[in-house]
C-alpha cells in the first residue's frame, strides 16, 4: 500500500509543480504557457503560417489560431500577408512580443527536457516505460496530448480574457 501512496504523492507533486509554474509564468508575463511557447517558436523559426506553427507545436490549427488571436489582441504578434505568395498569411512577433520574451522565465518543460537529455539512455528509457505504464493504468494513453507541460485547455477559450487570455 505504501508504494501506491508514494506514486499518488509523486503524481500530485508533478501536477502541483506544473500549476505553480503556470501561475508564476502568468503573473510574470501575462501569458499562458501555450502562448509563451507560440512566441518562442516564432522567435526561433521566424515568421510562419498558422499551419506551420501548429505543426511545429504539435497542436491543431484551431487551437493555434485561438492562441494567436489572444496574442494579437495583446499586440504581441501580427499577421501579414506574404509578399511572395498572397495566399499565405505569416505570423510575426512584434517588438513588444520580443521584449516580453527577453524577460520571460524558462518554461518548466524546457527545464525538464534539459535535465532529461543529460540522463543516460537507459535511465531515459526506464522513465518513459514507467510513465507509459502509469498512463495506461489511468486510461490516459487514449487521450490526445500535445508535448506541452500545462494544466487545462491549451487555448483557454473557456476562461475570461483577463485571467489567462
Q: What's the pLDDT tens digit per position in 47-81?
A: 999 999 999 988 889 999 999 999 999 999 999 98
pTM summary value: 0.74
Q: What is the number of structural domains in the chain?
A: 1
pLDDT grade for 154, boundaries at 50, 70 and 90: low
Task: Write the burial class of residue 26 (CB in 10 Å: 0-12 exposed, 13-18 middle, 19+ buried).
Answer: middle
Angle at 101 between CA 21 and CA 49, to 5 degrees: 105
**Grid coordinates belonging to 38:** 507560440
Sheet holding 89-93, edge to edge: 48-49, 89-93, 77-81
Residue 101 burial (CB < 10 Å; 0-12/13-18/19+)?
Answer: middle
Grid cell at residue 158: 473557456
The sign one gets for the Cα dihedral 3, 146, 16, 122 is positive
Give the range of the structural domain holding residue 69, as residue numbers without chain letter. Answer: 2-164
CA gap 105, 91 in Å, rounded: 23
- 6-46 residue pLDDT tens: 999 999 999 899 889 888 888 989 998 889 999 999 999 98
Q: CATH number of the domain that 71 lies in? A: 1.10.10.10
Q: Are strands 77-81 and 48-49 parallel, antiparallel or unpaired?
A: unpaired
Amino acid at each position: 500500500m505504501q508504494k501506491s501512496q508514494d506514486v499518488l504523492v509523486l503524481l500530485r507533486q508533478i501536477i502541483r509543480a506544473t500549476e505553480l509554474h503556470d501561475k508564476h509564468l502568468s503573473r510574470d508575463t501575462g501569458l499562458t504557457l501555450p502562448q509563451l511557447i507560440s512566441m518562442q517558436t516564432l522567435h526561433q523559426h521566424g515568421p510562419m503560417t498558422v499551419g506551420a506553427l501548429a505543426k511545429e507545436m504539435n497542436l491543431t490549427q484551431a487551437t493555434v489560431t485561438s492562441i494567436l488571436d489572444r496574442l494579437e489582441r495583446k499586440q504581441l504578434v501580427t499577421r501579414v500577408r506574404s509578399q511572395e505568395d498572397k495566399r499565405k498569411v505569416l505570423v510575426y512577433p512584434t517588438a513588444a512580443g520580443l521584449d516580453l520574451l527577453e524577460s520571460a522565465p524558462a518554461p518548466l518543460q524546457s527545464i525538464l527536457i534539459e535535465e532529461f537529455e543529460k540522463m543516460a539512455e537507459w535511465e531515459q528509457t526506464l522513465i518513459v516505460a514507467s510513465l507509459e505504464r502509469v498512463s495506461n493504468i489511468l486510461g490516459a494513453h487514449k487521450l490526445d496530448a500535445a508535448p506541452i507541460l500545462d494544466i487545462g485547455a491549451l487555448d483557454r477559450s473557456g476562461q475570461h480574457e483577463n485571467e489567462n487570455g
